[in-house]
Amino acid sequence: MADIGLSTEREAWRRQALATSLMALIFVAGFLNQFLMGRSSFDAPPVVHIHAVVFFGWVALNTVQAWAAASGRLDLHRPLGWLAAAWVLMMLAAGVAIMLAKVGEGRAPFFFQPQVFLVENLAGLLCFALLTGAAIKLRHDTGWHRRLHLCALASLMGPAFGRILPMPLMIPWAMEIAMLPGLAFPAWLAWRERRMDGAVHPAWVIGILALPLTTVAAWLIAHSAVGDALYARVVAGQAGEAVPGLTFGAPPPGM
């Protein structure tokens, strides 16, 4: 029975590794599309490059971890897990830094309200950190551990899809819509699990609902006095101070 359980768990990790690999390709496609369309370049400020290295590093690390577990290489998976735990701290720092820089300089994309862009991104980053933290804490319970890790990765996919989808056509809900496609990956694995086992693990339910609930809460905060105060504090004394927090910007010339 132990061998059957191990085989089944490895198969579950294999499916998760495949899903993680596809998610990684979408991250690459999204940001490559941005570069090929001339919307980004290597001339970006250092904070942008640091953010890119840290976040793409996480995607790569997550993918290697998933395949290590699928291959039974726990001797590789576990040390990488501790590296991932430290990496999350870098992601929090890099994520907050890029948000403060973009909003402070008045450079939020025109299809987002800057105040909502700020609050929802910070809330999404917190959602990712909490899901990842829970996955690490529950590392001895493989069922919770691997499912929460995938949901955490899915919670980061909004920016990738935001660089692929026609965002201007989605105003005023562009940001919220971009966050949803990533949830298709844990939803697909949960659906497959339901078909095979007749039940869905509660980790899927928690992980899939975490981002939408966080987004709703962040939207409400962004449209409250708390959101006003946070935005005012971030843009004070910078170019962003001249940009209304709850107004969509003008499209760039030629659009």
> pLDDT confidence of 39, banded at 50, 70, 90?
low
Identify the band that residue 40 occupies on the pLDDT scale cut at 50, 70 and 90.
low
Whether residue 7 has pLDDT greater than 80: no
User: Once rounded to an integer, what is the mean pLDDT over residues 238-247?
Assistant: 96
pLDDT tens-place string over residues 77-111: 888 888 988 999 999 999 999 999 999 999 999 99
Structure tokens at 172: 């005023």
Q: How far apart are CA 210 and CA 217, in angstroms?
A: 11
How far, in Å, CA of 182 to CA of 19, rounded?
11
Give me the pLDDT at residue 31, please. 85
Mean predicted lDDT score pLDDT of the chain:
90
152-173 mean pLDDT: 94
> What is the C-alpha to C-alpha distance for residues 11 and 17, in angstroms, rounded to an integer?
10
Distance CA 109, CA 205 (A): 32
- Tell me: the pLDDT tens digits for 9-34? 778 889 999 999 999 999 999 888 87
pLDDT at 6 over 70: no
Q: How far apart are CA 121 and CA 95, in angstroms?
A: 8
CB 137 within 8 A of CB 109: no
Collect all residues with Cβ–Cβ distance below 8 Å to 165 and sequence separation of at least 6: 177, 178, 181
List, in order, residues 6 or more apart from 112 with CB less than 8 Å away. 174, 175, 248
Q: What percent of the chain has pLDDT over 90?
A: 72
Q: What are 201's two structure tokens?
A: 């693990």
Average the pLDDT over 147-168 and give the result.
94
Predicted local distance difference test score (pLDDT) of residue 3: 32
Q: Could you give the CA distance from residue 212 to residue 123 in angstroms, rounded to a whole number? A: 11
DSSP 39: S
What letter represents residue 44's amino acid?
Answer: A
Alpha-carbon span 161 to 22, nearest angstrom: 13
State yes or no: pLDDT of 234 exceeds 90: yes
Among residues 183, 157, 160, 168, which one has the least CA distance to residue 32? 160
For the entire predicted model, the pTM comes to 0.90
